[in-house]
């Protein structure tokens, strides 16, 4: 299980009964490889944990200053990342099972088993917790890589097309701020932010001079531009995103009254994320400089969404957007805008 050269496993034992504490110390000393710190109540243990990081905690649930499952919750608040093994009396094995359900790694019944069993229980708990941590780190790394990849794709599009330089990033920031204001949960906000970063992906299929040409476009040219929501959605259709990214892209030019494209969807037929994107997109587009015209200003952008709230745009989204702009102004578009942490 362990070789002699490895450092001892550091265990914090929280136990008010000196007899029980001594017995465990003795049994583990016989097995070897453990360094035990003994504290008699929760307050003392919490104080010690401020300065020290053990490998595991052995926790008696009946302490002078805490009792039952409340002891587990208190310990997990103090040391959320440590494996906790609960000590239970002979008659409360059910409490041990409940403890595991509450996130403890394992439980030991007092008076049952020898030093080997206690040692094994601690060692396995430490190993399991380490595996859990590695899994979590791997999942977080995958999420980071996904976001970086989406950002790279977003930048690729913007590099060939001055029209969209920075547009998707700014729309993503505003859309996320609107979504947050509307009370979307963290996972949905993350999806919204991700979808917004590539909402114009389909413009890769549109000749760049169509996008930056001043004045009125021919019907044919406008037809090509109008294909971009479908083209973008088709590109990401094969990507197994954990959010409805393809729908966000496909529906971001749909309008509440059915006047949008490509499908002329109405009202709640349009996914909420796309209704948010529609507002963020138009506010950003009107208030930014374009190669063929100067910025029309934020006021013009807000007037557009207010005038068409309920016809083109979802009024709840418009209200949230107005609140965001009222509180942040242009800062919401800046590079250093402080996005709520979604990753």
Question: Whose CB is nearest to Fe ion?
Answer: 200
Residue 6 contacts by C-beta under 8 Å, 6 or more apart in sequence? 33
Piece in contact with Fe ion (CB under 5 A), picked from 69-77, 193-201, 235-243, 328-336 = 193-201
- The residue annotated as part of the active site, out of 39, 143, 203, 226, is 203
Interface stretch with Fe ion, choices 109-117, 129-137, 195-203, 325-333 (CB under 5 A): 195-203
Q: CB 247: neighbour CB atoms within 10 A?
A: 16
The verdict on 200 binding Fe ion (CB under 5 A) reads: yes
Nearer residue to Fe ion within complex by CB, 13 or 171: 171
- For residues 28 and 206, which CB has a smaller minimum distance to Fe ion in the complex? 206
Task: Calculate the alpha carbon distances from 187 to 16, 155, 183, 338 in Å.
Answer: 43, 23, 12, 18
Number of Cβ within 10 Å of residue 8's Cβ equals 13
Q: Does 273 bind Fe ion (CB under 5 A)?
A: no
CA dihedral 206, 237, 180, 283 (to 10 degrees): 10
216: annotated active-site residue: no
Considering only 7-15, 122-130, 134-142, 192-200, which stretch makes contact with Fe ion by CB under 5 A? 192-200
Binding range to Fe ion, per CB under 5 A, among 150-158, 179-187, 199-207, 299-307: 199-207
- Asked if 60 contacts 85 with a C-beta cutoff of 8 angstroms, the reply is no
| Neighbouring-strand partners of residue 309 | 313
Per CB under 5 A, 55 contacts Fe ion:
no
Handedness of CA 298, 300, 301, 307 (dihedral sign): positive
Q: How far is the CB of 296 from Fe ion (least distance, A)?
A: 18
Spatial distance between the Cα atoms of 305 and 283, rounded to a whole number of angstroms: 8
Q: Residue 200 or 314: which CB sits closer to Fe ion?
A: 200
Nearest to Fe ion of 55, 200 (CB atom): 200
Residue 165 neighbours by CB distance under 10 Å: 17
CB atoms near residue 337 (< 10 Å): 16
Please give the structure tokens belonging to residue 241.
């995103």
Could you tell me how many residues of this chain bind Fe ion (CB under 5 A)? 1
Q: Which is nearer to Fe ion, 161 or 200 (CB)?
A: 200
Compute the least distance from the CB of residue 130 to Fe ion, in Å. Answer: 46
Q: Which residues are known catalytic residues? A: 203
> Where do contacts with Fe ion occur on this chain (CB under 5 A)?
200
């Amino acid at each position: 299980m362990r070789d002699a050269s490895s450092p001892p496993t550091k265990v914090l034992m929280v136990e008010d009964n000196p007899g029980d504490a001594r017995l465990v110390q003795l049994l583990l000393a016989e097995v070897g490889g453990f360094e035990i710190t003994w504290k008699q109540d929760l307050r003392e243990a919490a104080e010690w944990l401020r300065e020290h990081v053990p490998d595991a905690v052995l926790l008696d649930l009946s302490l002078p200053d805490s009792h039952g499952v409340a002891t587990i919750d208190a310990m997990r608040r103090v040391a959320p990342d440590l494996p906790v093994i609960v000590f239970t009396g002979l008659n409360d094995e059910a409490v041990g099972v409940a403890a595991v359900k509450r996130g403890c790694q394992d439980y030991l019944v007092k008076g049952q088993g020898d030093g080997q069993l206690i040692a094994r229980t601690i060692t396995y708990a430490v190993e399991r917790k380490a595996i859990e941590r590695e899994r979590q780190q791997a999942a977080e790394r995958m999420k980071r890589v996904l976001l970086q990849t989406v950002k790279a794709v977003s930048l690729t599009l913007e590099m060939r097309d001055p029209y969209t330089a920075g547009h998707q990033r700014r729309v993503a920031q505003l859309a996320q701020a609107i979504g947050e204001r509307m009370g979307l949960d963290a996972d949905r906000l993350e999806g919204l932010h991700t979808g917004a970063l590539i909402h114009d992906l389909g413009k890769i299929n549109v000749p760049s001079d169509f996008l930056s040409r001043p004045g009125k476009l021919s019907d044919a040219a406008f037809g090509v531009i109008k294909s971009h929501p479908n083209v973008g959605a088709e590109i990401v259709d094969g990507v197994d995103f954990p959010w409805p990214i393809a729908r966000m892209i496909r529906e971001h030019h749909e309008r509440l009254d059915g006047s949008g494209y490509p499908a002329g969807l109405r009202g709640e037929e349009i996914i909420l994320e796309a209704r948010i994107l529609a507002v963020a997109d138009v506010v950003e587009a009107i208030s930014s400089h374009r190669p063929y015209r100067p910025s029309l200003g934020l006021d013009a952008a807000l007037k557009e969404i207010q005038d068409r709230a309920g016809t083109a745009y979802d009024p709840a989204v418009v209200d949230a957007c107005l609140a965001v702009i009222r509180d942040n102004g242009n800062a919401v578009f800046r590079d250093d805008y402080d996005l709520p942490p979604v990753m």
